[in-house]
A = this chain, B = another copy of it.
Amino acid sequence: MEHNKPLILITNDDGYQAKGLRKLISLMRPLGELLVISTDRVMSAKGHSITTTPTLTATLIDHAPDYKEYVCNGTPVDCVKVAYQWISDRMPDLVVSGINHGSNASTNVIYSGTMAAAIEACMDGINAIGFSLDCYDLDADFDHLDPYITVITKDVLEHGLPDGVCLNVNFPKRSEEPFRGLKVCRQAKAKWIEVYSECLNEKGGTCLKLGGKFVYEDHGDDTDYYALQNNYISLVPTHFDLTATQYLPEMRRFEHIIEEK
């Protein structure tokens, strides 16, 4: 069967009702045939978690010409897997994930369900982009992103991405100034310092509530965090090879201690 339009798979981690997902769907509508499969609830910070128990469901909730929308009770990575390993008989030409309510710049990428979905597609050789806005507000304003998301997506549809590379694109939240441009960046070094507090759960038992602060430890002007702070869109080419390549020679000491054992 011939397909004139590219198949674009859309997912997110904020649930199917999220404003960021709805915006992304509206922006992708003119660009291809859409398969939307999002989570039935908020699945932020689920990282690359997948569902291994036999409990997954995917339910068609809306359809129109060139448009199908499903809701899945699993994680964002489950959504991606189920989309083209179960629902669709055609592999997507592109996976777009988001628009996330909150930044996935810096080490937030490690925890992000939105970016995990993009990375999963990338592992399967599919072009993939995660879009995020540096604003956690459920009612965040996404309208200032429209032309940028469209132009980035069109470029990827036309030219593709290198094998094994997806894009982590983060936008500053709306301010009085327009964006200063887009910066291609490296992932900033930073970490969360958690602050747990005791609270009562639904049954009246004591449990821990997660809080925390983001500690930025990187003073480079070539990072995604720096770009966002300075009103640039950040774009990090992102891969799934966790090898710390530059330390391979130094680590060979472990080959010798095993020999000598």
Interface residues of A (CB under 8 A from B): 44-52, 54-58, 75, 77, 81-82, 85-86, 107, 109-111, 116, 119, 123-124, 147-148, 151-152, 155, 159, 162, 164-165, 167-168, 181-187, 189, 191, 193-196, 199, 201, 205-210, 233, 235-245, 247-248, 250-255, 257-259, 261
Q: A55 touches which one: B58, B147, B201, B251 (CB < 8 A)?
A: B201
Q: A182 touches which one: B45, B51, B182, B258 (CB < 8 A)?
A: B258
Residues of B with C-beta under 8 A to A148? 258, 261
How far in angstroms is the closest Cβ of chain B from A228? 15
Residues of B with C-beta under 8 A to A244? 162, 164-165, 237-239
Q: A54 touches which one: B155, B195, B209, B238 (CB < 8 A)?
A: B209
Residue of B nearest to A148 (CB): B258
Residue of B nearest to A47 (CB): B48
From known contacts A193-B85, A235-B251, infer whether A44 and B52 are also in contact, taking CB-CB under 8 Å: yes
Measured CA separation A209–B53 after assembly (Å): 7
Residue of B nearest to A186 (CB): B243
B255 and A57 within 8 A (CB): no
Residues of B with C-beta under 8 A to A239? 242-244
B51 and A49 within 8 A (CB): no
How far in angstroms is the closest Cβ of chain B from A155? 6
How far in angstroms is the closest Cβ of chain B from A180? 10
15 A-B residue pairs with Cβ-Cβ distance under 8 Å, sorted by A, are A45-B52, A49-B49, A49-B111, A86-B194, A86-B196, A147-B261, A164-B189, A167-B251, A182-B258, A184-B254, A186-B245, A235-B251, A236-B242, A237-B243, A239-B244
Q: A123 touches which one: B48, B110, B248 (CB < 8 A)?
A: B110
From known contacts A165-B247, A236-B243, infer whether A111 and B210 are also in contact, taking CB-CB under 8 Å: no
Q: A196 touches which one: B82, B250, B255 (CB < 8 A)?
A: B82
- Scoring A50, A107, A168, A252 by chain B CB atoms within 10 A of each residue's CB, the highest score goes to A50
Measured CA separation A261–B257 after assembly (Å): 57
